[in-house]
Amino acid sequence: MSRTKVALVTGSSRGIGKAVALALAAKGFAVAVNSRSATVEAKAVVSAIIAQGGQAMLCPGDVGDYATVGQMREQIRQELGEVTALVNNAGFAQQKLFGDITPDEWQRMLQVHLTGAYNTCHVFLPDMLRRHAGAIVNVSSMWGQTGGSCEVHYSAAKAGLIGLTKALAKEVGPSGIRVNCVAPGVVLTDMMDSFDEETKRTLAQETPLMRLGTAEEIANVVAFLLSEQSSFITGQVIAPNGGMVI
């Protein structure tokens, strides 16, 4: 089996996930780029990594489906090798009053964010446990720390990721595996497209650093947590939020 550093980044066709995939490729990781389907955007991320001399593959699949994640594992093993770094980034946002959230919307939010992370951890951890090495980063949100009005289902799912991170870190730490969490603040990605410019300016003004974050800034934190530079860090929630949550 190849000794190459191999990373799976879920939801990496755009936004933070795309930035993470590119950052890890620049650090020498072979990267499995994931999106629910083989989108043009996901293919473009793979092409960009290869064009820079890196190694990447397209690995489409719904992480909310356990059997699909198992198939993803086999595809990655065959093409890149065993996953040594896992980034659970797949997700989406939705602004709705709690009373308007349907049962299906609630379930889908948890299925993608929280069950998706369970699925990938459950499928890929055995290889890490056997090697006594590996690192996992779960991408939460500041709303997972504080709760967000009109985003109850999103906040609950992201808070669940924080709990998963802390508990799993305690369980697998003795086996040499680190599990950490990143809880970004407001970041300029396509998830912000539904906000008008005035709202974005207001959010920036509410941030002590007086601006919104970039996907690349979040990716830098993720890359650090997957590197040997963070070898004594596990079970932590790192919050690149410009000071909005202190």
Show which residues are catalytic: 154
Rounded distance between C-alpha atoms, residue 246 and residue 219, angstroms: 20
CB atoms within 10 A of CB 50: 13
CB environment 141-153: b (16+ within 10 A), e (fewer): bbbbbeebeebbb
In terms of DSSP H, where are the helices of 64-136?
A: 66-79, 103-110, 116-131
Q: How far is CA 197 from CA 65, 140, 200, in A?
A: 36, 25, 5
CB atoms within 10 A of CB 102: 10
Rounded distance between C-alpha atoms, residue 192 and residue 10, angstroms: 19
Amino acid letter for position 157: A
DSSP string, 177-203: EEEEEE---SB-SGGGTTS-HHHHHHH
Residue 185 near residue 138 (C-beta atoms within 8 A)? no
Rounded distance between C-alpha atoms, residue 169 and residue 93, angstroms: 26
